[in-house]
A and B are shown apart, each in its own frame.
Chain A
Amino acid sequence: MQQKITIAGEARSPLAEPDVPLSVPVGDAVKTTTCYMCACRCGIKVHLKDGRVRYIEGNRDHPVNRGVICGKGAAGIMQHYAPSRLRAPLLRVGPRGSGEYKEIGWEEALGIATGWLSRIRATDPKKLAFFTGRDQSQSLTGWWAMQFGTPNFAAHGGFCSVNMAAAGLYSFGGSFWEFGEPDWEHAKYFIMFGVAEDHASNPIKIGLGKLKARGAKVVVVNPVRTGYGAIADEWVGIRPGTDGLLVGALIHELLTAQKIDLDYLVRYTNAAALVIDSPGSADHGLLARGEKGEVLIKDRRTGAFVGIDAPDLSPVLQGEVILADGRKARPAFELLVRRFMAPEHAPEAAAERTGIAADQIRRIAAELARAAFDQPVVLDQPWTDWHGKRHDKLVGRPVAFHAMRGISAHANGFQTCRMLHILQMLLGAIETPGSFRVKPPYPKSIPPRIKPRGKAADVKPGTPLPGPQLGFVTGPDDLLVEPDGTPSRIDKAFSWDAPIAAHGLMHMVITNAAKGDPYPVDTLFMYMANMSWNSSMNVPAVIEHLTAKDEATGEYKIPRIIYSDAYFSEMVPYADLILPDTTYLERWDCISLLDRPISDADGPADAIRHPVVQPDRDVRGFQDVLIDLGWRVGLQAFTKPDGSRKFPGGYPDYIVNHERGPGVGPLAGWRGKDGEAFGKGEPNPKQLERYIANGGFHHHELAPDQRYMKFANRSYMEWAHAKGFLESTDRLVMQLYCEPLQRFRLAAEGHSAVTPPETHRDRIKTYFDPLPFWYEPFEEKAIDLNQFPMHAITQRPMHMYHSWGSQNAWLRQITAANRLYVSRGKAAELKIADDDWVWITSHQGRVKAQVKLMEGVNAETVWTWNAIGKRSGTWGLDKEAPEATRGFLLNHLIGELLPEREGGYRFSNADPITGQAAWYDLRVRIEKAEAEPAGTSPRFEPLTPPKGVGRGGR
């Protein structure tokens, strides 16, 4: 349209608007794959122009992100082209940490690795410690380690969220985040605990948008009010590590108010199970069982003892019960009620430690009750329960919970998370409409029926391990300990230190290996884990361990280190052999139902990555390398009978053709010769083509009657059993009372063939309580709180979610240095002003940081953004980059071990049940520091990048 120009005189008008090209094609090709900027695994469309990446956007069809993309994912181009990318295999030629490398070819690199690994395998496979960090291919890496025969394998779950995973899997067969999600469509009241802007990224954001638009109330329990907390209706600025007290007080209030879903408890949990009451006996605290091993309840109408799976139970829930054989027992429900109705769980009792007023706790309890019981969600969806009884409608409690590391990364995290699940059970708020839903292939048996292997008797030269390294123990007999009580694994997972260490303890490997405790290793093989920096606690000590030498031989205490990473991270200079990985746009990957799928509550989903661009460097995808090494080392699973490679096509060949069981492979979609089978079917040579054609993923939609109550839903369970997700069609009983824990306690009292050493007995007796309880985190118990009165925690900025990749040229323009955030009121008390430099001191050491004052933080807590601080010289950045000069890590202040106890034994700074690293237990004091020189401290010696890597200072 012609513009009307009204201003005369000197006005200079663009009489002819310039010709703006409006319909330029985005690029010349678009390819669909899976993001790897964090652990969310969203679907992305990558637009290419002249062979270069032009634009990355969310894939609208993808079940995880539905077309949106996050701040980090949209900066993927700069990750892909980052100058910190490694260019070729490297062999260390100077001392560790010196940065003196020799670039070598792949044949030489693989030859060296094969030599080291073959020797170990032929003599003592446990001398290989293989730990794979932020691995998204654990069903391959774990399988490889099992074929190798070492018990020493795990990924990063031990310092991530194993408390949450284990508490969920031992309570209801799923978990927060990975194996479950809030019912975003129907929830009316949503409480989020300790989600430090992470896990999961886009699904939470999409979900919060839906809740807000619908007018649901959002409550955020977090010591810090930032991103998610900023939009909450209510911010509960709790003191770190006290969430269990808050949850306990909520339970107390709901029980007092008689606002619990009794029908749900009786039908779907073991609330009515009878707990044997015979202190001092071998069966004390175990559940009464019938002849076939079935858990018994007492019918209140007939007085008979019947199995808990019987239809239409009307059980006794209170009072002493005399069993048929004369033993005494009490219903689990009664024990729970007596514990949580005790005065120490009253809101008043919780108020001081949590920092939350009793009135506020009571109000939240009242709101929960009102949302759950006065506004039930009723869906006109018939379903059939495990007895075959048809229900016309689905009735749900629209109260949804989500929790993450603020619960998990404490030494009391397992029990706190269990308590949260019990609150959900009391409200009838698991798998009902509007509450929390589980993502297939979960729920699994409670806990899943996989036992860890790796005792000395399982480890034989040249032989695979008889089963997986990681699993779910249900009693002392399942532990990986030797007859003398010493741990079988290098990280002491599944030992008396951490009996339910379902994800291993990656954070202890370097320390234990350097100390030879419980034994030395020969080769440490790591993937994608920055263990000499932000992925370790007590960084200075870890660096010392990595470089420590045996005085007698002059050899490193950890003799050989192989490391694979795509970038020049802080860990690279401490490895002897570096295998450069590709970027996420150059690689094959498989997000498998066999490990950590991308399912949602409406159905299972898996996905792939495929190379959308080719590497311009001499790098190889780690999984390709691993499969190659498997053949070179002579692992049968990677070798044909004639000695040739079983997967000559590398990782994609494995993804399509590997069968874990008959018809079960890494990908569940488009199986069978014709590609029409889901779940089980013979390998389909065109399977990857089908995935690529479908946008890189497969999502199976459950039938409408299968989508809720999955643990007791006949249609779902029959389907899940047919697909191999469930061992049987027996319904799953949620574990209000967690009997396996009691078996460990009994062992601590001597009632077991396998008993804990004296050093561990009290610990096991105290913490392995089958009903959850709150206890003081270990660090604060062990130190003088007058010296270290404050809590110190970290969060991840959403644009650098999941810590890795924060060297990104765009993202670092948003955040290149981190501050220590301090409450304005507390700072005034301490005479600290905005922008002051302070010393943060813990029992472990001190770090200098610059302060930023804020209102939205618990007054007893300071916090910072995690993993912004970098070691000078790394990540392709200028040596004077703000990340190195002003950025800092709290990691230096966190002990990996607890202070020494009587008897000299040092436990890891971890949850006593799961071994989860307790990095949120950190206690500090802050003091004003000298202003000059400005800058952080300590600053470690700059690291030297390999030739051709980085162009810092450009």
Chain B
Amino acid sequence: MTALPLATEKKLGLVIDLDTCVGCQACVTSCKEWNNGGYSAPLSDEQPYGADPHGAWLNRVHSYEAGEGAKGRTVHFPRSCLHCETPACVTVCPTGASYKRGEDGIVLVNPDTCIGCKLCSWACPYGAREYDYTDGIMKKCTLCVDRIYNETLSPEDRQPACVKACPTGARHFGDLGDKESAVSKLVAMRGGYDLLPEMGYKPTNKYLPPRPRKADALVGGTTPAETIPATDGSPAERLFAWVDRVLSA
């Protein structure tokens, strides 16, 4: 058992907009390339050119469909550590390697004390933890802790690699503990929600639901074509008469 801080000064996390995620995998590979050389290095690949290529990834996008036919949706769902306020992955850790930082709430793994027992991956209901077969230890999203405070980066680049990469602007980073932060306001405005709140781990990351569709705005209404009085002649003759009126005006 590893203990948690009672409270953290900040609650840094991600806000992910399911309304604009097109499933392009930019966040996935940007995460891989940053962390393959960063604090979590290496993120190992097994059989990279072989019959069963797989490896450690800290962020994955899943695509699935909901609903039937044209009324259904295709949803792209990016999944990474949610940096929960009370994460089971930390409390189950037998060595103290998993921990939640007091100053910003980021959940990290100490690579020096992790023994790769995988208890944390069993405990996490979000599937956010990955075992690195080469390193023999657990890896997880660090919220790019080695970017967001990195004084060698320009201030606008001090954000997680996935957020910087996202072409549609579907990923946002900030302090969800501060009601006045841009991400908190976004969550409030768009009805951001927790994943599996019933589990009680209080995820910091929030997901924004798809916006209501504008598909049916005119259903049942009158179309402009129906407003044209059916006077003499064909629709073409009526169009030419209209053209005549407009050009004579």
Q: Given A228-B22, A230-B73, A810–B29 Cβ distance below 8 Å?
A: yes
Q: Which residue of the partner chain A has the closest CB to B73?
A: A230
Check A293 for interface membership: any CB of B closer than 8 A.
Answer: no
Q: Given A22-B149, A234-B213, A341-B234, A227–B29 Cβ distance below 8 Å?
A: no
Count residues of chain B with CB under 8 A from any CB of chain A. Answer: 104
Check B231 for interface membership: any CB of A closer than 8 A.
Answer: no
- Chain A residues with Cβ below 8 Å from B28 are 71, 799, 814
Chain A, residues 555-576, CB within 8 Å of chain B (1/0): the string is 0000000000000000000000
- Chain B residues with Cβ below 8 Å from A234 are 213-215
Interface centre among A11, A26, A359, A953, by most B CB within 10 Å? A26
- Chain A residues with Cβ below 8 Å from B181 are none
Chain A, residues 1-44, CB within 8 Å of chain B (1/0): the string is 11111110011111001101111111000000000000000000
- Chain A residues with Cβ below 8 Å from B23 are 226-227, 230, 798
Q: Among B24, B150, B219, B244, point to the contact of A70 (Cβ < 8 A).
A: B24
Chain A, residues 237-251, CB within 8 Å of chain B (1/0): the string is 100000000000000
- Chain B residues with Cβ below 8 Å from A22 are 145-146, 149-151
- Chain A residues with Cβ below 8 Å from B5 are 3-5
Q: Which residue of the partner chain B has the closest CB to A18?
A: B110
Segment at the interface with B among A53-61, A381-389, A463-471, A718-726: A53-61
- Chain A residues with Cβ below 8 Å from B55 are 810, 813
Q: Which residue of the partner chain B has the closest CB to A66?
A: B167
Chain A, residues 319-359, CB within 8 Å of chain B (1/0): the string is 00000000000000010011001000000000000000001
Residues B228-249 near A (CB distance < 8 A): 228, 234-236, 238-240, 242-244, 246-248
Chain A, residues 699-721, CB within 8 Å of chain B (1/0): the string is 00000000000000000000000
Q: Among A21, A83, A206, point to the contact of B146 (Cβ < 8 A).
A: A21
Q: Which residue of the partner chain B has the closest CB to A881?
A: B51
- Chain A residues with Cβ below 8 Å from B213 are 233-234
Q: Which residue of the partner chain A has the closest CB to B169?
A: A209
Q: Which residue of the partner chain A has the closest CB to B38?
A: A24
Residues A779-817 near B (CB distance < 8 A): 798-799, 807, 809-814, 816
**B235 adjacent to A25 (CB under 8 Å):** no
**B170 adjacent to A209 (CB under 8 Å):** yes
Residues A59-97 near B (CB distance < 8 A): 60, 65, 67-75, 77-78, 83
What's the nearest-Cβ distance from chain A to residue B191, in Å? 15
Chain A, residues 935-953, CB within 8 Å of chain B (1/0): the string is 0000000000000001111
Residues A810-836 near B (CB distance < 8 A): 810-814, 816, 825
How far is it, in angstroms, between the C-alpha of A70 and the C-alpha of B235 when the chains are bound?
49
How far is it, in angstroms, between the C-alpha of A799 and the C-alpha of B57 when the chains are bound?
15
Check B45 for interface membership: any CB of A closer than 8 A.
Answer: yes
Q: Given A300-B247, A881-B50, A14–B215 Cβ distance below 8 Å?
A: no
Q: Among B34, B76, B225, point to the contact of A362 (Cβ < 8 A).
A: B225
**A230 adjacent to B3 (CB under 8 Å):** no
Check A225 for interface membership: any CB of B closer than 8 A.
Answer: yes
**B149 adjacent to A256 (CB under 8 Å):** no
**B146 adjacent to A208 (CB under 8 Å):** no
**A337 adjacent to B236 (CB under 8 Å):** yes
Check B165 for interface membership: any CB of A closer than 8 A.
Answer: yes
The dominant DSSP class at the B interface is loop
- Chain B residues with Cβ below 8 Å from A589 are none
- Chain A residues with Cβ below 8 Å from B197 are none
**B228 adjacent to A231 (CB under 8 Å):** no
**A68 adjacent to B37 (CB under 8 Å):** no
Chain B, residues 18-47, CB within 8 Å of chain A (1/0): the string is 011111111111101110011100000101
Check B115 for interface membership: any CB of A closer than 8 A.
Answer: no
**A23 adjacent to B2 (CB under 8 Å):** no
- Chain A residues with Cβ below 8 Å from B7 are 4
Chain B, residues 60-76, CB within 8 Å of chain A (1/0): the string is 00010101111011111
**A855 adjacent to B67 (CB under 8 Å):** yes
Chain B, residues 69-100, CB within 8 Å of chain A (1/0): the string is 11011111000000000000001011111010
**B3 adjacent to A11 (CB under 8 Å):** yes
Check A367 for interface membership: any CB of B closer than 8 A.
Answer: yes
**B1 adjacent to A11 (CB under 8 Å):** yes
What's the nearest-Cβ distance from chain A to residue B109, in Å? 9
Q: Which residue of the partner chain B has the closest CB to A266?
A: B247
How far is it, in angstroms, between the C-alpha of A2 and the C-alpha of B68 when the chains are bound?
53
- Chain A residues with Cβ below 8 Å from B94 are 12
Check A292 for interface membership: any CB of B closer than 8 A.
Answer: no
**A259 adjacent to B224 (CB under 8 Å):** yes
Check B164 for interface membership: any CB of A closer than 8 A.
Answer: yes
Q: Which residue of the partner chain A has the closest CB to B37?
A: A54
Q: Which residue of the partner chain A has the closest CB to B94?
A: A12
- Chain B residues with Cβ below 8 Å from A362 are 223, 225
**B214 adjacent to A952 (CB under 8 Å):** no
Check A132 for interface membership: any CB of B closer than 8 A.
Answer: no
25 A-B pairs with CB atoms under 8 Å apart are A1-B9, A1-B103, A13-B2, A14-B2, A17-B101, A65-B167, A68-B167, A69-B30, A70-B25, A71-B26, A205-B22, A205-B167, A208-B20, A212-B19, A225-B74, A227-B24, A230-B75, A256-B225, A258-B238, A365-B224, A809-B45, A854-B65, A878-B47, A885-B51, A954-B50
Interchain residue pairs A-B with the least CB separation, the first 8: A71-B25, A205-B167, A257-B224, A809-B48, A230-B74, A209-B168, A257-B225, A798-B24
Binding site for A on B (CB under 8 A): 1-7, 9, 19-30, 32-34, 37-39, 45, 47-55, 57, 63, 65, 67-70, 72-76, 91, 93-97, 99, 101-103, 108, 110, 112-113, 145-146, 149-153, 156, 161, 164-170, 210-211, 213-215, 217-219, 221, 223-225, 227-228, 234-236, 238-240, 242-244, 246-248
